[in-house]
Structure 1
Amino acid sequence: MGKRVLVIGSGAREHAIGTTLLRGDSVDEVICAPGNPGMALDGIRPADLDVADHAALVEGCRTLGVDWVFVGPEQPLIEGLVDDLTAAGIPAFGPTRAAARIEGSKDFAKGLMARHGIPTAAYASFDDPDAARTYVKDHGAPIVIKADGLAGGKGVTVAASEDQALRALDDIFVGRHFGRAGDKVVIEDLLEGQECSLMCFVRGDRVWPMPLSQDHKPAYDGDRGPNTGGMGAYSPVPQFGPAIVQEALETIVKPVAAAMVDEGFPFTGVLYTGLMITASGPRVVEFNARMGDPETEVVLPALTSDLGAGIMALMSGGEPRFTWEAGRSRICVVLAADGYPQAPRLGSPVPLVGAAEDLHPFYAGVADVEGLGTPGFTAVSGRTLVIEASGKDIPAARDRAYSVIDGLDTDGLFYRHDIGFRALG
């Protein structure tokens, strides 16, 4: 008999996780807390649970008869939800609070890499604004300014000039744009190359890689505009072959997993490595302690094995099995509310999209439209809907996605029209 699983989160990533779990025989039911109403289209039941109240969540798991929990977003991981669920006897998939520091503090992650010789950009960390400004003036530009803590994917400025870098420091330290996440900054040398995302299932010093993917952070076509949480992604990444992935595994992912074991906070969960593929090989841009969004929406649909069975084997110390389709490509495009990421204008209708064998909608920031006799959604946050499509290659997958999206009523929403452009040569 299949298990009942609770997925923590509310976005398109969690929608994709829940849908993938339900494809396998090991899981009969997926509940998502808090979830969103769009998930119900795939048989995922939203649950009105306060994920920040760990004691109440434990009781909710017991009331619902949950067999195990998949923690999707970073904030609950960093707040120790896995620790608290485990202490209550509820199996939970994700890193402990101590291991999740690899995402929760960029300074912590850079220090870990420095201690273990893991290739990344040279850096310095500051909690004093004047010292940070002096460093920028002495170092010059281009240079990268990062808020130390969680900033929803928006706390990074790639400064082309010294003035831009100093403005970014003022935004963090004076304007407090990122709150407590900006109590400290990490200033890095700029790495040149293409960024890619390598997500891996990890248990201790063992690593099971997923297909490589590449996302698009800037809001507008041509990589213009402010950085967002991600406007689309594609997988695999044809411009980088298996040798690059293997090099990243051997020089970065496996060593950092072993380092966390050595330092007393072993990692179990999904480790996301943001890579810059430079002329000298792969370098770490950042680590995340969970699956990426929107990368998950193009990677998990390519899984051909039972996700739930693999995760249960990981959690129990068994031998997990993860297999992936070959000869097919996937792309996803995010539909976001106008004004995102700075000031998304909420309340616009979000279109209903039907799933097909080569196309799937994953919903994010939506709520039910009140008073309608038929299903309908409205935007309640910046990213509202992700359309994922597949094809024999990136051009075919891209054509399939845009053939649907371009025919939707997207008044009040916007999307990039060039997702996957780097794969096209």
Structure 2
Amino acid sequence: MKVLVIGSGGREHAICQKLLSSRDVDTVFCAPGNDGMKNSGVHCVDIQEKNAKALIHFAQEEAVAFTVVGPEIPLLSGVVDAFTEAGLLAFGPTKAAALIEGSKDFAKQFMQKYAIPTANSKTFTKYKEAKAYLEEKGVPIVIKADGLAAGKGVAVAMTMPEAVLALKEMMLEERFGEASQKVVIEEFLEGEEFSLMAFVNGEEVYPMPIAQDHKRAYDGDKGPNTGGMGAYSPVPHIPEKLVEEAIQTILFPAAKGMVEEGREFRGILYAGLIATNEGPKVIEFNARFGDPETQVVLPRLESDFAELIFALLKNETPDVRFKKAGIHLGIVLASKGYPEQYETGQLLTGLDQVSPEIAIYHAGTKLDTAGNLISNGGRVLLLQTFANTMKEARQILYAEMKKLDNPNFFYRIDIGAKAE
């Protein structure tokens, strides 16, 4: 069968690759995709991810069996709703259900209503009131843009000048546009962060192995928040008992609560969690696969990915089995200056020297007029490997990353170090 994936990043490349390994899939289209995906058998289609009308027309013309929506923006613009209305199968939550990611304020009120553990918080639309609250609460404190900000709309402020600057940038300077016209200010939680994703169909929840993302731009978790600089799965130092507690106290109540709200969720529910002394608490919910967590979690899937999604779309019980042994590690190569100002169009060097045993997931790459691969985004690509131990995985992958050394790009050298 033919399958369509909507999106253009490393997450979508990983989804495409996993679908291509399914026994019943012979063609995977990605709209719009990126040039770097083409070498791995993905057919890129020049249709933008929010153009529901053109995407539906393409899916009908090509007799696509089902569509997988990767990013949050098309989900929140109602692409799944449009596909469903056209009588087509699309995997992902409706616009109403995707609001769990689209509004931090909605997510907070939802968690409070259904007793899902999370940080105490307050929402503001006026700068003066928000600043007064900051001064009352003190630091450390967390400030979040209410809407979508590509993973960058969060400031973890350790000093009051940092907090006031972040608030000013969001609310007065509109750094994230409409997304930061409303902000959520919440208490700072201490603990180890981890990502727990699950396939969800109404009240049915099928958890995946946990992963740990590295959000800060620089080594030692320094610098601004990014979309993610690397990840690994599983996370050996997070106890299994804690993960099970998170499944029972967070994932199941969230799925049930969305049904009760009339926003039944079908797709991937992502819970960004923190292991506190009081147990796991929610930092954020996403309505889709995480990036770069997908690039290290999906390769662990042992059951057939296309069959699994098809079963969920048909309201059948899916076969969900993941590899238990070993570690998958992924490291992002980013454009110099990311996540702030950076240049695109920089020549990628050394890719031809990377071992064929290493998976390469392209996020922001394109071909120039001479046929050379150049950068076309902040996060350019991710290298991923599998090994029995984290020490071995890090040795393998950093030897490969060195082949990509180039003054126009950078990568963190401590990805996975906590798990060695």
TM value normalised by structure 1 = 0.96
On the 8 A contact 1:26/1:306 being kept in 2, the answer is no
| Matched-pair contact (CA < 8 Å) for 2:355–2:400 | no
Write the distance in 1 (CA, Å) between the matches of 2:407 and 2:158: 34
Shift of 1:75: 0.4
Is 1:293 aligned to 2:291, yes or no? Answer: yes
Q: CA deviation at 1:50?
A: 2.4
Q: Which residue in 2 is equivalent to 1:423?
A: 419
1:31 aligns with 2:52: no
Contact 1:358 1:391 (8 Å CA) reproduced: no
Q: Which residue of 2 is the match for residue 56 of structure 1?
A: 54
Following superposition, the deviation at residue 92 of structure 1 comes to: 0.2
Per-residue deviation, 1:263: 1.2
Partner amino acid, structure 1, of 2:35? P
Q: Retained in 2: the 8 A contact 1:388–1:401?
A: yes
Q: TM-score, normalised by structure 2?
A: 0.98
**In structure 2, what is the Cα distance between the partners aligned to 1:67 and 1:172?**
42
Matched, 1:387 2:386: no
1:167 corresponds, among 165, 168, 182, to: 165
Match in the other structure for 2:410: 414
Gaps of 5+ in 1: none
Describe how 1:3-402 pairs up with structure 2 within 5 A. 3-351=1-349, 352-353=351-352, 358-372=357-371, 376-402=372-398
Displacement of 1:355 after TM fit? 7.4
Identity in percent = 47
- Which secondary structure state, in structure 1, belongs to the residue aligned with residue 243 of structure 2? helix
Query: Would the aligned equivalents of 1:77 and 1:100 in 2 still touch at CA under 8 Å?
Result: yes
- The alpha carbon displacement at 1:346 in A equals 1.2
Shift, 1:41, TM fit: 1.6
Q: CA deviation at 1:197?
A: 0.2
Q: What letter matches 2:373 in structure 1?
A: F
Runs of 4+ in 1 over 3 A off after TM superposition: 353-358
Between 99-108 and 320-329, report the one with greater CA deviation: 320-329
Report if aligned partners of 2:354, 2:400 keep a CA contact under 8 Å in 1: no
Deviations 1:1-46 (A, max 9, x none): xx21110000111000000011111321100000011111210111
Is contact 2:360-2:383 (8 Å) kept? Answer: yes
Return closer, same or farther for 1:356/1:207 CA change in 2, 3 Å cut-off. Answer: farther
Report SS of the residue matched to 1:86: helix
Give yes or no for contact 1:390–1:400 (8 Å, CA) kept in 2. Answer: no
Q: Which amino acid aligns with 2:388?
A: K
Structure 2 gap ranges (5+)? none
> How many pairs were matched up?
419
CA contact (8 A) 1:136 1:165 kept: yes
How many angstroms apart in 2 are the aligned matches of 1:273 and 1:389?
A: 24
Q: In structure 2, how many angstroms separate the alpha carbons of the residues matched to 1:95 and 1:355?
A: 37
Contact between 2:348 and 2:404, CA under 8 Å: does it hold in 1? no
Separation in structure 1 between the aligned mates of residue 56 and residue 221 of structure 2, nearest angstrom: 43
CA RMSD, aligned part only? 1.2
Indicate the SS of the match to 1:48: coil
